[in-house]
């Protein structure tokens, strides 16, 4: 039977849901040459949104689409090579043109080009590092040069963009990127990543090179009503029944978190033959928490006792964490220690400021945390 829910991969096709306005806004920005940065917590659907926008732009326009994932990129040298390779590959569908472009569009640097058995996956570009450092501007300006020569326009989407802050001499590298990219007339950038705090720092800090680099889009949660329609339709399409009360509880328990709404819905759906029952629902909820518990255990093992205590206070809805009563009740140390730990947990994307209130960013982590530290039964 066709699975109506998806998690663990980017949501595409029938799994992509209810971001029509976000999708049209992003496509409009990229078509009109507006550089766009997308910021939101992890697993809210940024990658799915960008992937769908790029796919539709590729079908509907003549734009040349470049997608780069910086998750495993650890140095400027790697970035230069991946950036050049993907720009060359996206400029044409022909291997002969890739090889020609790899030579023709560089004046001061000689790239090494190689092709394996499967050209689409085994085409690579490499540079002598000393030459790359000396002529980095030529590499960074490659898409603009190709665009002008071929009379085309590029859209370049870079995932996990915040990883550039881990490079050696990162701020100077950011300055180089900004200096070149802001002058390009035929290239538009879509920059996004999974570390919200770091992305905020890159694009919202007036002291940083990428401050006000185009439009900043803060992705919001999908509304409860749209989730309700999506979940009900998935069960109905596969001839299974789910009462509205269960749908409402999925949405509420997962706090409209895109990844978890899909994951919880899937666990309920796959255990249902005909109709969802209380037993099916709560077993699915237990499975959801248990399947994520190894990750949550690892998170807590890497926190200090006072950071754990701060999470306990937040879970119990204590907002005045530097008050004398809260500091004493939860053994948070001094007010300075509590504030420092709060900021650290926000930077780690464990805590969040939602409408001015401290909350745990991950709703399933909160269920697990309540069970482990307060013995609260999340499946009842």
Range list for CATH 3.40.50.300 in the chain: 19-218
pLDDT (tens digit, 9 = 90+) per residue, 130-174? Answer: 888 888 999 999 999 999 999 999 999 999 999 999 999 999 999
CA end-to-end distance (rounded Å), the chain: 29
| 38 vs 277: CA distance, rounded Å | 39
Confidence (pTM):
0.82
Strand-pairing partners, residue 352, are 359
Q: Is the pLDDT of residue 126 over 90?
A: no
Check if the beta carbon of residue 131 is closer than 8 Å to that of residue 139: no
Q: Is the pLDDT of residue 272 over 60?
A: yes
39-48, 49-58, 215-224: segment of lowest average pLDDT: 39-48
What pLDDT, on the 0 to 100 scale, is given for residue 87?
Answer: 93
Radius of gyration from C-alpha coordinates of the chain: 24
Handedness of CA 198, 199, 201, 202 (dihedral sign): positive
Contacts of 169 (CB under 8 A, 6+ apart): none
Check if the beta carbon of residue 79 is closer than 8 Å to that of residue 70: yes
16-20, 73-77, 193-197, 320-324: segment of lowest average pLDDT: 16-20
What pLDDT, on the 0 to 100 scale, is given for residue 14?
Answer: 56
What pLDDT, on the 0 to 100 scale, is given for residue 17?
Answer: 59
Render the burial of 171-183: b for 16+ CB within 10 Å, e for the rest.
eebbebbeebbee
φ, ψ of residue 117 to 5 degrees: the values are -65, -40
Q: CA nearest 229: which of 221, 237, 218?
A: 237
| 317 vs 319: CA distance, rounded Å | 6
**Residue 1 has what DSSP assignment?**
-
322-326, 350-354, 374-378: segment of lowest average pLDDT: 350-354
Strand-pairing partners, residue 175, are none
Q: CA nearest 221: which of 24, 19, 53, 357?
A: 19
What pLDDT, on the 0 to 100 scale, is given for residue 51?
Answer: 92
- Please report which confidence band the pLDDT of residue 103 belongs to, taking 50, 70 and 90 as the band edges: confident
pLDDT (tens digit, 9 = 90+) per residue, 281-331? Answer: 999 999 999 999 999 999 999 999 999 999 999 999 998 999 999 999 999
Handedness of CA 168, 173, 175, 178 (dihedral sign): negative
Q: Is the pLDDT of residue 7 over 80?
A: no
Q: Which CATH class is domain 293-380?
A: mainly alpha
- Please report which confidence band the pLDDT of residue 9 belongs to, taking 50, 70 and 90 as the band edges: low
| 174 vs 4: CA distance, rounded Å | 42
Q: What is the overall mean pLDDT for the chain?
A: 91
What pLDDT, on the 0 to 100 scale, is given for residue 18?
Answer: 65
Handedness of CA 324, 326, 331, 332 (dihedral sign): negative
CATH topology of domain 19-218: Rossmann fold (3.40.50)
Strand-pairing partners, residue 191, are 37, 158
pLDDT (tens digit, 9 = 90+) per residue, 225-240? Answer: 999 999 999 999 999 9
Q: Is the pLDDT of residue 119 over 70?
A: no
Range list for CATH 1.10.10.10 in the chain: 293-380
Region 23-47: what's the mean pLDDT?
A: 91
């Amino acid at each position: 039977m066709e699975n109506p829910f998806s998690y663990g991969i980017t949501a595409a096709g029938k799994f992509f849901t209810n971001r029509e306005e976000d999708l049209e806004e992003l496509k409009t920005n990229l078509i009109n040459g507006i550089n766009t940065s997308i910021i939101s917590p992890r697993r809210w659907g940024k990658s799915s949104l960008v992937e769908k926008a790029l796919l539709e732009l590729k079908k509907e326009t003549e734009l040349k689409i470049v997608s780069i994932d910086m998750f495993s990129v650890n140095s400027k040298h790697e970035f230069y090579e991946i950036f050049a390779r993907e720009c060359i590959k996206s400029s044409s569908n022909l291997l002969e043109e890739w090889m020609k472009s790899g030579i023709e569009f560089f004046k001061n640097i000689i790239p090494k080009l190689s092709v394996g058995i499967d050209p689409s996956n085994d085409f690579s570009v490499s540079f002598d590092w000393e030459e790359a450092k000396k002529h980095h501007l030529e590499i960074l300006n490659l898409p603009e040069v190709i665009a002008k020569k071929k009379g085309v326009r590029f859209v370049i989407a870079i995932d996990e963009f915040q990883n550039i802050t881990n490079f050696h001499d990162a701020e100077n590298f950011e300055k180089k990127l900004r200096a070149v990219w802001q002058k390009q007339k035929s290239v538009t950038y879509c920059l996004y990543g999974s570390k919200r705090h770091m992305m905020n720092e890159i694009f919202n800090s007036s002291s940083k090179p990428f401050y006000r680099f185009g439009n900043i889009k803060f992705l919001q949660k999908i509304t409860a009503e749209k989730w309700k329609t999506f979940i009900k339709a998935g069960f109905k399409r596969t001839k299974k029944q789910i009462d509205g009360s269960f749908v409402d509880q999925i949405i509420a328990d997962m706090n409209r978190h895109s990844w978890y709404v899909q994951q919880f819905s899937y666990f309920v759906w796959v255990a249902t033959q005909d109709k969802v029952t209380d037993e099916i629902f709560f077993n699915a909820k237990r499975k959801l928490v248990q399947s994520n518990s190894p990750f949550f255990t690892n998170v807590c093992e890497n926190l200090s006792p006072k950071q754990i205590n701060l999470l306990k206070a937040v879970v119990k809805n204590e907002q005045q964490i530097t008050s004398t009563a809260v500091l004493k009740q939860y053994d948070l140390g001094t007010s300075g220690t509590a504030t420092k730990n709060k900021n650290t947990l926000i930077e780690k994307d464990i805590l969040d400021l939602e409408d001015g209130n401290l909350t745990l960013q991950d709703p399933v982590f909160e269920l697990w945390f309540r069970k482990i530290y307060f013995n609260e039964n999340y499946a009842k």
